[in-house]
Copies of this chain bind each other. A is one copy, B any other.
Amino acid sequence: MKIEVVENVMQYNKEEADINRRLFKANKVFVINILSAPGAGKTTLIMETIRRLGDKYNIGVIEGDISSTHDSEKIKSLTDDVVQINTGGTCHLNASMVAKAVEKIDIKKLDILFIENVGNLICPVGFDLGESSRLLLSSVSEGDDKPVKYPKAFVKTDLVILNKTDMLPYSDFNDDFFSGKIKELNPEIEIIRLSCKSGQGVQGWIDWIENNI
B-binding residues in A (CB < 8 A)? 37-39, 65-68, 70-71, 89, 91, 118-123, 139, 141-143, 145-146, 148-152, 164, 166-167, 170
Q: Of A65, A118, A119, A167, which is in contact with the most chain B CB atoms at under 10 Å from its CB?
A: A119
Please give, as numbers and ranges, the residues of chain B lying within 8 Å of A120 by CB-CB distance. Answer: 91, 120-123
In the bound complex, what is the Cα–Cα distance between A148 and B139 (angstroms)? 21
Picked from B66, B143, B148, the residue with its CB within 8 Å of the CB of A122 is: B66
> Known contacts being A38-B37, A146-B38, A170-B167, is A91 close to B89, with CB within 8 Å?
no
A sample of 27 inter-chain contacts (CB < 8 A) reads A37-B38, A38-B38, A38-B121, A38-B142, A39-B141, A39-B142, A66-B122, A66-B149, A66-B150, A66-B152, A68-B148, A68-B149, A70-B148, A70-B149, A89-B122, A91-B120, A91-B123, A118-B122, A119-B149, A120-B122, A123-B123, A139-B141, A141-B141, A141-B142, A141-B167, A167-B167, A167-B170
